[in-house]
Amino acid sequence: MTLLALLLVVAAEEAPPKEETAKDISQKSREKGALNLVGLTAQLKLSTTSKDGKVKDQVLTTSSKKIDARSRVVTRFEQPAGVSGVAFLTVEGDKGEADDISLYLPKLKRVRKVAKQERGRAFMDTDFSYSDIASNGGRDEDFKKLADEKVEGRDCYVIKGKGGEDTPYGDVTMWVDKQYFVPMKVDYLDKKNEPLKRYRTLKLKSFKDRTVAAESVMENLQTGSKTQMVVLSLNDAPVGDEAFTERALERGP
């Protein structure tokens, strides 16, 4: 081997890993997500605290699976009695399109689509919106990378972009964990670029080959309310493809 060839081999071996772009970070944080539930079933507790201190708890079960290269999520509310049986089906949009969201209401005994203009509204009276539970944020290409920072003691990438047209958001800034690509903090401005909401991951949890946000909170900075999400359980429970259809929403679990 010539000296030049040897130097090239050494240089290749010592080359630093590819630097993550803002687009890479946005894609990975969206694909892995805060919960990273593809192939899993989780029971979650949502606790919403109003400005005056009143607390409302809701318990739900959610499962996720990739079918034909598109993620599908089915969510069913279990408690309290007033929301028991309410179900959602979210199907990842094709080629950058907004996700498709279907809602089943037991009282009406029918499935209806959640229209684009409704996606900025509160999800089941919590501080999450419909657009928060679906991947209807800004385009990955529109995010810009800022200086790295630490959040909750963890090294994070910081990226900034615009909320999607179907969201109530203007500028969106994300702090994404460098190791697991879990969003550790997200600041949302409204369309007037006034502070609107802040999401924070409070606790990470390892489950087999992945790490998820075991505890998180969404705060509404304009109303003073907040919703905490806690993962009560995680399981490998296999769910058939037929469970991720509108017909299955009507049949129930």
Cis status of the peptide bond prior to 80, with omega within 30 of 0: yes
Q: Are 134 and 21 in contact (CB under 8 A)?
A: no
pLDDT of residue 12: 41
pLDDT of residue 196: 96
Per-residue pLDDT of the chain (253 residues; tens, 9 = 90+): 444 444 444 444 444 456 889 988 988 887 766 666 788 899 999 999 999 999 999 999 999 888 888 888 999 999 999 999 999 998 887 766 778 899 999 988 889 998 888 888 889 999 998 888 765 455 667 899 999 999 989 999 999 998 877 788 999 999 999 999 999 999 999 999 999 999 999 999 988 888 889 999 999 999 999 999 999 999 886 788 898 999 898 887 6
Q: How many residues make up the chain in this entry? A: 253
**Helices and strands, number each (H, E), in the chain:** 4, 13
Segments of the chain assigned E as strands: 41-49, 55-67, 70-79, 87-91, 100-105, 110-113, 144-151, 154-162, 169-177, 183-190, 195-207, 210-220, 226-235
Q: Is 38 exposed, middle or buried (0-12, 13-18, 19+ CB in 10 A)?
A: middle
**For 21-251, CATH number?**
2.50.20.10
Category of 42 on φ-ψ map: left (φ > 0), alpha (ψ -120 to 50) or beta: beta
Element (H, E) at 132: helix 130-133
| Per-residue CA distances from 155 to 35, 187, 209, 217, 228 (Å) | 19, 17, 20, 20, 23
Determine the distance from the C-alpha atom of residue 178 to the mean position of all C-alpha atoms in its chain, rounded to a whole number: 17
- What CA–CA distance (Å, rounded) separates 166 from 119? 6
Neighbours of 180 (CB within 10 A): 20
